[in-house]
Every structure is written in C-alpha cells, then in structure tokens.
Structure 1
C-alpha cells in the first residue's frame, strides 16, 4: 500500500495529477491481490477485481475510468467487440480515450493471470450492468481461450483496435 503523500510520489506534478497517480497505483495493487474469481459469483469477482476503478455498478470514474454499464452489452453484440473486450482484460489499456463525449485518461492493467473461465465469468457479468438496450450472450471460456491463443496484444494495440472499432461503429 502506498503510504507516502501523493505530492512526494510525483513532486513535479500538480497535486490533483499526483493524487490521481497515487489512486491509480493503489487501485492496481488492490486488483492484483484480490481473491481468485469464483465462477458461482461473477458479481463479487467483478467488484473485487474491477470495482475500484469501474465502480460496483459499472458507472466508471469521471476523468479516469470508463462507464461499462449499458455500454458493454452493445460492444459485445459484434464478434469484433467481444474479441476487443477479451483483449483489454488480457492485455490492459492506457492513455487518453473518449467515452460518451468525455475525455478519460487512465490505466487498466492486463489480467492475463486470470483463467479463461474467470475472465468469461467477469465479462458475462459486465454485459449485464446497467440497462442494456439489447442483452448480450454470456462469454464462454472457449471464446477467451481462442482470443488468448491468437497472441498477446499490448496496451497500445488495444487502444489502436478501439479506434478502429469506433470507426467501424462497433464502439459508440
């Protein structure tokens, strides 16, 4: 756990940015030591692994982490969107993105240490958050395994894929 004041972590950075950096490191540390995912309780797994940043209901955190509620199911309607979601969980993503007209600048670490079944359970929960216009089918471990077998994607690769999917209308 980070015990130094945020200003000492990044002394040449504005206080609010230093606080965001400290929060991000604390959030990543919490995710990395979270309990293993239990297939029977995907909601608890989501909250323990993802809730610090995306919030328990998937509403996101302004300026840093995107809203998932109501959006993830729409992305998961297309095979390319489902692949993208799996790649982001496996490899993470960092940098500036825009979601629903709001700029966000955060870091999501990859969670490739999770099993395919664990990732499928968490993503299956994610697509139920909020009030999706159309329900998405649950993710399967075999689907995640196929994405994993396709090769490792970096945070930069995932950000580039996101831009491509926006241009194609898969991500709105």
Structure 2
C-alpha cells in the first residue's frame, strides 16, 4: 500500500478515536445505544412533529411509578402502534420492538433517557424489569391499551 494511503488511514483512525473520546460514545455507551436504535426516529429526543413523539423529559416522569416502568419495558420489548396523544399533540405511527437488544442494553437506554429529564434522582429500570416484560410478551394492541389506561390515570404526560 502506498504510504499516502497509510497516512490517510492513520489520520482517519485518529480522527475517529478523537471524536469518540470527545462525545463519550464508546461502543456500548448509553448515548451510542440510543443513537443507533432510537435516535433514528426520535432524533435527539425531540421526535418528529405528527409522526414520532418526543422522549426527552418524559421517560423520567413515566418511569416514576411501577406501572410506568412496566409500560416502558413493554414498549421496548413489544413495540407500539396506533394513534396516541403526547403533551396534547396527536401522533399516529409505529414503533418496532427492540427485543433483539439485550435486557441490559434496553435498561441502559431507558435509564439514560430518564436521567435526561428534570426529575431529581431519576427513576431507573433494571435488566430484570426488561426480562420480566420479555417473559410476559404481549401484543402491540395490548401495549396500546396499557398506555391508554396509564393516560387515563394521568401517569403519562
């Protein structure tokens, strides 16, 4: 290989390593897990008006009750579809299941989002919470019904 290509490759590697260290995005970091799995649709957490609801500043509120934690685990394991209202705005979309991720990875993503909210001592979910949802495995219409019940109780903003 010509030396100019080796130099270019080395510069590329150095730039990639520098970017990774500056953003804190190691292979399994919460930010990277979110970005690779959730950020595709939810972007930086603000969603897309009319189609993808925001998650920033909401996960901590939802996770503040046992029912909310169960719902969040159910959404990530089973997916969600249909019309919902978030902060008074309608959304009609489909969120796929992320059951391909490990329980620890899902808990890591949810905990990272929870920590980005305003709740002091942000609530957390464990890998066991996710494993319980995985073992229960419910349909997306049941997840939607679960959400509707929590919304009626004002447990979902």
Quote the offset at 1:66 in angstroms: 0.9
2:63 to 67, 76, 81: 76
User: Which residue of structure 1 lines up, in the alignment, with residue 134 of structure 2?
Assistant: 148
2:37 to 40, 49, 56: 49
Aligned-residue RMSD, C-alpha:
1.6
Asked if the contact 2:42/2:54 (under 8 Å) is kept, the reply is yes
Report Cα offsets for 1:56-93 as digits up to 9, x if no partner: 2x111100111111111000000100110010000101
User: Which residue of structure 1 lines up, in the alignment, with residue 87 of structure 2?
Assistant: 100
Asked if the contact 1:38/1:118 (under 8 Å) is kept, the reply is no
Residues of 1 paired with 2:142 and 2:30: CA distance? 27
Is residue 2:148 matched to residue 1:160?
no
Asked if the contact 1:91/1:112 (under 8 Å) is kept, the reply is yes
Quote the offset at 1:142 in angstroms: 1.5
Task: Please tell me whether Structure 1 or Structure 2 has the larger radius of gyration of its CA atoms.
Answer: 2
Give the TM-score taking structure 1 as reference length.
0.72
User: Which residue of structure 2 lines up, in the alignment, with residue 34 of structure 1?
Assistant: none
Q: Which contiguous aligned blocks of 4+ residues in structure 1 show a shift greater than 6 angstroms?
A: none
Q: How does 1:1-172 map to 2 (within 5 A)?
A: 38-39=27-28, 41-56=29-44, 58-129=45-116, 131-149=117-135, 151-172=136-157
Asked if the contact 1:74/1:134 (under 8 Å) is kept, the reply is no
Residues of 2 paired with 1:167 and 1:138: CA distance? 23
Aligned length: 132
Asked if the contact 1:73/1:134 (under 8 Å) is kept, the reply is no
Q: Could you say what secondary structure the match of 1:157 adopts?
A: helix
Quote the offset at 1:38 in angstroms: 4.9
Assess, with a 3 A threshold, how the Cα gap between structure 1 residues 88 and 112 changes in structure 2: closer, same or farther. same
Asked if the contact 1:97/1:103 (under 8 Å) is kept, the reply is yes
Give ranges in structure 2 of 5+ residues lacking alignment. Answer: 1-25
Give ranges in structure 1 of 5+ residues lacking alignment. Answer: 1-36
